[in-house]
Structure 1
Amino acid sequence: MTVRIRKYSWQLAPADIRNIRQTVFVEEQQVPPELEWDDTDEIADHYLVVLPDNTPVGVGRLFSTLEETAHIGRMAILPAHRGKGIGKRLLRHLVSEAAGRFSELRLSAQEHAIPFYQRSGFHVCSDLYDDAGIPHVDMRCLAPQLLSNAFGTRQAPMLLGEDRDAWLFHSEQTMTELMDSVVGQARQRLWLYDRLLDHDLYDRLRLRELISTLARRHRLSEVRLLIHDDKPLVKHRHRIVELMRRLPSRIELRLVNDDYPVGDQPFLLVDREGVVFRHDFYKPEGFAKFSDSGRVRLLAESFQRMWDVGKSSLELRELPL
């Protein structure tokens, strides 16, 4: 269906935007008015979806409270116009509006709408919670620009266990976005093999937070870091080391044993589906896959062999607290 999407500030927004939200949220879903109308409206960009004859059919808003994170919210399509792809068009328009300006997109999804958002590249990142009497989860996208570029060409883009296509990368920025998108969906296991824990690549705030979240998730969480050179960890006072010391039973580091065969290509494995693979230790070139159990199994076997004969780090053992 052909639609147009118009952007407004709250001060200049037509009454249609308020009317649609009133109809869908307050009247249909019984959201209390004092929760529906909040201060965020004043700082948000508001979007109105209209048909070719200018009939208003849907709304959404986009706002930011952090420099690198934007929030999508208050998406609503009038009952008579649902099931026609209008919601998907609106969501993807909002993603495209944010792409290039923000490195993360978040939204709060009603439980029944989770598959809708997953099909457009968002993954669940919280437990279920109650909001205005309705079950919700938080969802996010950690690579809005990549997602925007992929619309129309991929099914369930960047969704762990679902997206079977390869994502190629030739730059560090694309590589880190894909890495974060894979790690951000880990439920239990993260195994990393590299020459060293490069500061710019692995000591980023977002990645540390993702690893910390995984390590604290439950008692079976497992983060294994297998590297060749541990001296930069001490020289740069890598903050991953601080995380390891707080969670020693969940995060472990070993050095490869050169007396045994070792791999010459770095990789990162998440659970039994996700992989980020580089062709060379020294170049940000390779691919990411979000659903490739066969490749992950083979790489995991290689990792396990190196891990079993690996050595503990004397540098870290002697590092003062």
Structure 2
Amino acid sequence: MTSIRIRKYSWQLAPGSIRDIRQRVFVEEQNVPPELEWDDTDDIADHYLAITEDNKPAGVARLFSTLEETAHIGRMAVLPEYRGKGVGETLLRHLITEASRFRELKLSAQEHAIPFYQRSGFHVYSDFYDDAGIPHVDMRCLSPVLVTPESHREYPMILGKDRESWLFESDTHLISLLDSLTGQAKQRLWLYDRLLEHDLYDRHQFRELLSALARHHRLSEVRLLIHDDKPLVKRRHQIVELMRRLPSRIELRLVKDDYPVEERPFLLADREGVVYRHSFNNPEGFANFADSGRVKLLGEAFQRMWDVSRSSLELRELPL
């Protein structure tokens, strides 16, 4: 792997090598029209230049934010002679570290580059689309604070691929893992908890992820199984409002009081993802992104509780 240093510039003070690399890779090699390559975003973005140990420019990228919690990576390019030498990975990991204060990182990836971005914790969340004549998908990382160069995982937090456990003991890390799994679910999300706690679940990001899943496919299914709905009646909750707008896709039920129930909360995403807490009252636990055996066992326990559960009359009577 080539030894790489990363330097950061504003567009106004950026060296010509940044423009030269983009011109060579995008405009000349990939035939991107110049009017699409050069845009106003350059003026508001931070620009990064990867330099080899012998001071040769090797790759570039830019980073900018449009929302308080979201940052975007773009215009990432490595010169042909430096590809396959770790330049792109070093550059991307540096950008992730720079943007770790954001809850979400987004980028547009060319089809061939999907595995490259997955190895740094980005997952696909769109269909393919054409950009300058090249197939692209939108990708995002919902846990940049957890994806660090020190993690040494092949596909960190990629549903169905990351087979190592993620331990957590804070609300911040718990929320990152909840969102990352929810954002990758394609058909099923089952959540079991004592309450739909406002700090964990009454968030715009979580609502939008649930909404996208519920609308993704006609067979999409979101089940919320809780012990107590009184806090939901007393204070408006984004998930309850979403549930009432998508009643055929999102359903909330209450456990049966005299039926044996699980003593620890969990979230199941499709057939392989799980976030498991050791108790209802603290954020300690673990997450797995490729653990079909555990998900199967917990799914069976969830189904048993669901089969004898009841709907919430109080929530049904609330006005929209």
Give the aligned partner of residue 146 of structure 1. Answer: 146
Distance 1:183 1:172 in 2: 16
Give the aligned partner of residue 57 of structure 1. Answer: 58
Distance 2:75 2:194 in 1: 46
Distance 2:316 2:3 in 1: 63
Distance 2:14 2:281 in 1: 51
Give the aligned partner of residue 79 of structure 2. Answer: 78
Distance 2:54 2:263 in 1: 61
* Residue deviations 1:146-188 (CA, integer Å, cap 9, x gap): 112x545212000000111111111111100110011010000
SS class of match (1:147): coil
SS class of match (1:282): coil
Give the aligned partner of residue 18 of structure 1. Answer: 19
Is 1:112 the equivalent of 2:112? yes
Give the aligned partner of residue 102 of structure 1. Answer: 102
Distance 1:151 1:141 in 2: 17
Give the aligned partner of residue 310 of structure 2. Answer: 311
Give the aligned partner of residue 156 of structure 1. Answer: 155
SS class of match (2:146): helix
Give the aligned partner of residue 298 of structure 2. Answer: 299
Alpha-carbon distance, 1:231 to partner: 0.9
**Aligned runs of 1:28-43 on 2, under 5 Å?**
28-43=29-44
Equivalent residue letter for 1:143: S
Give the aligned partner of residue 165 of structure 1. Answer: 164
Distance 1:57 1:290 in 2: 34
Alpha-carbon distance, 1:318 to partner: 2.0
SS class of match (1:249): coil
Equivalent residue letter for 2:60: V
Note the aligned Cα RMSD (angstroms): 0.9
Alpha-carbon distance, 1:92 to partner: 0.6
Alpha-carbon distance, 1:71 to partner: 0.6
TM superposition score normalised by structure 2? 0.98
Give the aligned partner of residue 255 of structure 2. Answer: 256
* 2:191 and 2:224 in contact (8 A); partners too: yes
Equivalent residue letter for 2:88: G
* 2:204 and 2:238 in contact (8 A); partners too: no
Distance 1:78 1:153 in 2: 25
Give the aligned partner of residue 46 of structure 1. Answer: 47
Give the aligned partner of residue 186 of structure 2. Answer: 187
Alpha-carbon distance, 1:317 to partner: 2.0
Alpha-carbon distance, 1:53 to partner: 1.5
Give the aligned partner of residue 3 of structure 2. Answer: 2
Shift >6 Å, 4+ stretches: none
Equivalent residue letter for 1:97: E
Alpha-carbon distance, 1:116 to partner: 0.5
Give unpaired runs (5+ residues) of structure 1: none
SS class of match (1:144): coil
Alpha-carbon distance, 1:316 to partner: 1.1
Equivalent residue letter for 2:104: E
SS class of match (1:5): strand
Give the aligned partner of residue 200 of structure 1. Answer: 199
Give the aligned partner of residue 243 of structure 1. Answer: 242
Distance 1:55 1:152 in 2: 29
Distance 1:17 1:51 in 2: 14
Give unpaired runs (5+ residues) of structure 2: none
Distance 2:259 2:52 in 1: 66
SS class of match (1:135): strand
**Aligned runs of 1:126-145 on 2, under 5 Å?**
126-145=126-145
Alpha-carbon distance, 1:320 to partner: 2.5
* Residue deviations 1:4-62 (CA, integer Å, cap 9, x gap): 11111111111100001000000000000000000010011111111112111111111
Distance 1:237 1:314 in 2: 16
Alpha-carbon distance, 1:219 to partner: 0.4
Give the aligned partner of residue 121 of structure 1. Answer: 121
Distance 1:68 1:187 in 2: 24
Alpha-carbon distance, 1:241 to partner: 1.4
Equivalent residue letter for 2:180: S
* Residue deviations 1:232-265 (CA, integer Å, cap 9, x gap): 1111121211111111110011110022111110
Equivalent residue letter for 1:39: D
Equivalent residue letter for 2:72: H
Alpha-carbon distance, 1:139 to partner: 0.4
* 2:278 and 2:285 in contact (8 A); partners too: yes
Distance 1:320 1:249 in 2: 18
Distance 1:270 1:210 in 2: 12
